[in-house]
Chain A
Amino acid sequence: MVAFLMNRLGPQIICFVFGLVLFAVYFSAHPVARQINTTVLVDYWQIIFAFTLIIGVISFVNLSVHDIKRGHNRFYRFISLFGLVIMPVFAVIWGIKGDSPFMWMFDNVQVPMQSTVFSLLAFFVASASYRGFRARSLPATVLLVAALLTLISRSSLEGALPSFIAGTADWVRGNPSMAARRAILIGIGLGSLTTSLRVLLGIERTWLGGEK
């Protein structure tokens, strides 16, 4: 009974009450309503996130130690744990300002690594485009022509080509493409609405772990 209250009924009631309050608050410009909004969506959320981050870090450390013991990806796991330990140590001892070791590590290790992963996108866009734009059927040919028009209209070649190319590309983006996007967005909006209502009313309980 206690487990049912703690794991099922309690969270469901909290979810329903907060959902209802935030729905009402959205339609008010009153300072009290804004304060409730900030308190729930910013303050409470940060407190919850701080606690769950601890759980996340514990899970990461457990997994890394487990893999090191079993000899799985030992080198990568050591590097990850080293980064996890060394950054807070640097921050606590020398702070995080200007020329501190923390900022040096951030600027010279983390930022270049992030940029490297991001730059992979250029190659992946090329390989995905190659597969996606092969003119094997009529719709694929239409897609290829639309893509070429857009590509040319956005390149430095645009000035040297007839103006109708840029006009056609803009028309493709602003009309058929936008119409399709809006149709999908309406579906997503309605889907979000019904999913949210199902969660608030307790019809959908997967987020609590399951049906029972």
Chain B
Amino acid sequence: MITGYIIITLAVTASPVAWFDTGKTVTLIAAIISILIVLYTTFHKSSREKFKVRKIAGLRAVEDAIGRATEMARPVLFTPGWGGDIQRPTTIASMNILSHVAEKTCQYDCRLVYPTHDPVIMAVAQEVIKEACARAGFPDRYRENDIFYVSSSQFGYAAAVEGLISRLKPASIFLLGTFEAESLILAETGNINKAIQIAGTDSTIQLSFFIVACDYVLIGEELFAASGYLSQDKSILASVRAQDILKVIIAMLLILAVIWATINPDSTWWRF
């Protein structure tokens, strides 16, 4: 109420500054084109016809990783990293994979441990795992105590998860989300404990650490395609197709800009 009042007061007494920031015109056009392409591929019937999604090794290994943990009677550890909060697309993408992993672990009656640094993520993860257990047909296998908040401090979180890996010795570890300096600490600890590790993040610096320390790494858009890949939902897969269309457009623009800049080095239009 108070916020609404402040906003209305500000609107009434608004300064004559333009509502639209002209410096962001190109960004707006690019955003609208991208949104239209995503909407078209998602909702247009013929665009949703069958198309092939290439095999992603990291996602194909999810079931093997859970199967391994079940056979070894050891838990699966899933953590979203310290760097992100629930607003980040990476965290949302990680939740999509968590849902699939939780469903499988429930089916196989395998323990799933989920430590996190953010209480909001903890609350969402509890809901996701609870729903996944219900979907698997085993709501009684949901263990609320295994999805917990450890610390908001970066190295407090790293130490807590490292300790968990060393004590519980999980057979499979999923490091999917937003990671910062703690990425290598966790991945190397998992490696020392001989866990099969599937990792993915949106930081190119941390990706290089995961590549040397983990068995499978989801690189770039693979993390975001996981939801459609695992669920085979047509709407989600169609939006993955939109990513490819946009990528082709960006590549064509880059080629055009390179040719233009080579022919006319003084031109600047392509520097938007």
What residues make up the interface of A, taking CB atoms closer than 8 Å to B? 23, 26-33, 35-36, 39, 43, 48-49, 52-57, 59-60, 62-63, 66, 73, 76, 110, 113-114, 117-118, 120-121, 124-125, 127-129, 131-132, 181, 183-188, 190-199, 201, 203-204, 206-211
Contacts and interface: CB of A to CB of B under 8 A. Distances in A.
A210 B132 CA distance: 7
A128 B96 contact: no
Contact residue range for chain B? 35 or more
17 contacts: A27-B24, A32-B14, A52-B120, A54-B119, A57-B119, A121-B185, A124-B188, A181-B204, A186-B250, A187-B243, A190-B221, A193-B38, A194-B240, A196-B92, A204-B227, A206-B96, A207-B128
B21 interface: yes
A32 B21 contact: no
**Nearest 8 A/B pairs, CB to CB:** A56-B119, A191-B224, A187-B220, A132-B212, A210-B131, A56-B149, A187-B221, A191-B221
A188 B219 CA distance: 9
B62 interface: no
Interface of B: 3, 6-7, 10-11, 14-15, 17-21, 23-24, 27-28, 31, 34-35, 38-39, 42, 86, 89-90, 92-93, 95-96, 98-99, 118-120, 122-124, 127-128, 130-132, 134-135, 145, 148-150, 153-156, 158-159, 162-163, 167, 181, 184-185, 187-188, 202, 204, 207, 209, 211-213, 219-225, 227, 235-236, 239-240, 242-243, 246-247, 250
A25 B204 CA distance: 29
Contacts of A27: 20-21, 24, 27-28
